[in-house]
Structure 1
Amino acid sequence: MNQPQTNTSLFSRLRFVLVETSHPGNIGAVARAMKTMGFSQLVLVNPRFPDAVHQEEAIAFASGAQDILASAKIVGGIEEALEGCNFAAALSARLREYSPPVTTPRALASTLVDDGSLNAALVFGSERYGLPNQIIEKCNVLINIPANPDYSSLNLAQAVQLLAYEARMAAGGDRIAQSPIGFHGDAASLTQVDGMYEHLEKALIAIEFLDPDNPKKLMSRLRRLFSRTQLETEEVNILRGIARHILARIGKNQAE
């Protein structure tokens, strides 16, 4: 394999190689699986149909990832597919007697992220026969997905989705998943929160939900409840607005 230039982004360093894929729909589904995880380099080695990426089934299963299909590279052999790579990982549910070292998807993803000099290929075999030994022997590692030993065969697109997901998570997807989603306002100050509790307590007394002579632990429990929510200023204002409305309605009823 040729020595590549270093690129620290795994999304630019990782390609997905499909060997002798039979069904155009699977190629389309793979393109979709790749795109959902942010990967774009797809290489097809001698697919059953030379125009597979243009077939209606492939386009339908790509479902929005037609750009991945359009940019897919079609080659005649594994050597061309691995051109520019200095690391290749073969996927197989069947362990081989003379295979390269066996690893898991998660361990592999961690290796690829930790070593930014690796331009890597994930190599997947055909739906019926998997990968031949001669291709596996060209790879640095053999990936074995720890699945149900009584039924360990995954659909091609499912296998690609799993590998792409692990790669994305290792590349920082866990931070993406944990990042705030949607609008988050300013956190309420302690003074604002205390004012809300005082206002809310008055309203609860007014509607006779809270007995001031026998309050028990109601306000303490409400404080504990709201402390788990990390109240924002706007939320405090909403709760005070509810309390204000309750007090106003009680006052109006009493005046009548």
Structure 2
Amino acid sequence: MMPKEITPPLFNRLRVILVETSRPGNIGSVARAMKTMGFSELVLVNPRVEGALQHEEAVAFASGAQDILASARIVTTMAEALDGINHAAAVSARLREFSPPVQTPREVAQHVALAASAATGQDFYPALLFGNERFGLPNEIVERCNVLINIPANPDYSSLNLAQAAQVLLYECRMAALGGTGIAAGSVGFHGDAASQAQIEGMYAHLEQALVAIGFLDADNPRKLMPRLKRLFARAGLETEEVNILRGIARQMMEKARKPGE
């Protein structure tokens, strides 16, 4: 039975806020980026197109993430968008003379992931703010945020599409929340019982006998073969069933090496 997946706190705490978005397709693309990275709370502030969440372009570009659109909220003020948020990060390619501290996506992601893991109750709820495709975020919104995120892109062409910028940020947040592995505990593949030291040592002894039997290992001059093999298998993190398979291989090697009549 696979262990139950544990969802890191950041996935249930991070809010994505789109401010005055012009293209419904970009809203749909951001919803798709959110779903692929495991986030779900989307808030729109005064989108330029009426009925943006139901617009055919938004639905088409969401491409399977229509549930994110269906649960999204539309608000008319930044106060509503930031209600309950206590760490706001503005995303902008344009640096400002007066702005909060500038950080990279990875720095922000690591901070919010750690803070969310350590938080209890209503202690920490972060948000990522993205501005209009053409004008970005106005200074008055940037100045009320805790940090300004600048994506370190090609200085000769640093402009990212809205959904591309969101994907970069959400990917970093996912990686940080999952401890850099990209895989939640117990989420992928079969996990068997870890082999005990006694089982592993028994396997090593059996394998050594088999290697001697087939002439690969000289028992009188073993050199460093077995220590190297032990180091190799130690990196694998052997499970009980895997040890049994290796012992089965060793058994067959010894059977094949046995001379007729022995």
TM-score, length basis structure 2: 0.77
Larger-Rg structure: 1
SS at structure 1 position matched to 2:94:
coil
Report how far residue 93 of structure 1 moved.
0.8
Aligned partners of 2:31 and 2:42 also within 8 Å: yes
Q: Which of 115, 129, 138 is the aligned partner of 2:135? A: 129
Report how far residue 95 of structure 1 moved.
1.2
Distance 1:200 1:47 in 2: 67
Match of 1:89 in 2: 89
Distance 1:139 1:104 in 2: 15
SS at structure 1 position matched to 2:236:
coil
| Aligned amino acid, residue 51 of structure 1 | G
Match of 1:220 in 2: 227
Distance 1:39 1:27 in 2: 14
| Aligned amino acid, residue 165 of structure 1 | Y
Which stretch of structure 1 is more off in the superposition, 198-207 or 20-29? Answer: 198-207
Report how far residue 236 of structure 1 moved.
1.9
RMSD: 3.1
Report how far residue 172 of structure 1 moved.
5.2
SS at structure 2 position matched to 1:191:
helix
Distance 2:227 2:87 in 1: 59
Match of 2:103 in 1: 103
Aligned partners of 2:26 and 2:61 also within 8 Å: yes
Distance 1:177 1:36 in 2: 13
Inter-CA distance 232–118: structure 2 relative to 1 (3 Å threshold): closer
TM-score, length basis structure 1: 0.78
Match of 1:146 in 2: 152
CA offsets, 1:178-200, max 9 Å, x none?
A: 74643333333343333323332
Inter-CA distance 15–214: structure 2 relative to 1 (3 Å threshold): closer
Match of 2:42 in 1: 42
Report how far residue 67 of structure 1 moved.
0.8
CA offsets, 1:16-54, max 9 Å, x none?
A: 111222222221121122223332221222323222322
Q: Which of 161, 168, 189 is the aligned partner of 2:167? A: 161
CA offsets, 1:138-171, max 9 Å, x none?
A: 4343222233322222221222223333444554
Distance 1:105 1:140 in 2: 14
| Aligned amino acid, residue 202 of structure 2 | G
**What is the 5 A alignment of 1:1-256?**
9-109=9-109, 110=111, 113=116, 117-171=123-177, 173-174=179-180, 177=183, 179=185, 181-251=188-258, 254-255=260-261
Inter-CA distance 21–105: structure 2 relative to 1 (3 Å threshold): same
Structure 1, unaligned runs of 5 or more: 1-8
Inter-CA distance 100–214: structure 2 relative to 1 (3 Å threshold): closer
Distance 2:22 2:66 in 1: 19
| Aligned amino acid, residue 166 of structure 2 | V
Inter-CA distance 228–101: structure 2 relative to 1 (3 Å threshold): closer
Inter-CA distance 98–188: structure 2 relative to 1 (3 Å threshold): closer
Inter-CA distance 118–227: structure 2 relative to 1 (3 Å threshold): closer
| Aligned amino acid, residue 129 of structure 1 | F
Match of 2:3 in 1: none
| Aligned amino acid, residue 158 of structure 2 | S
| Aligned amino acid, residue 222 of structure 1 | L
Would you identify which runs of 4 or more consecutive aligned residues in structure 1 move more than 6 Å? none
Report how far residue 68 of structure 1 moved.
0.7
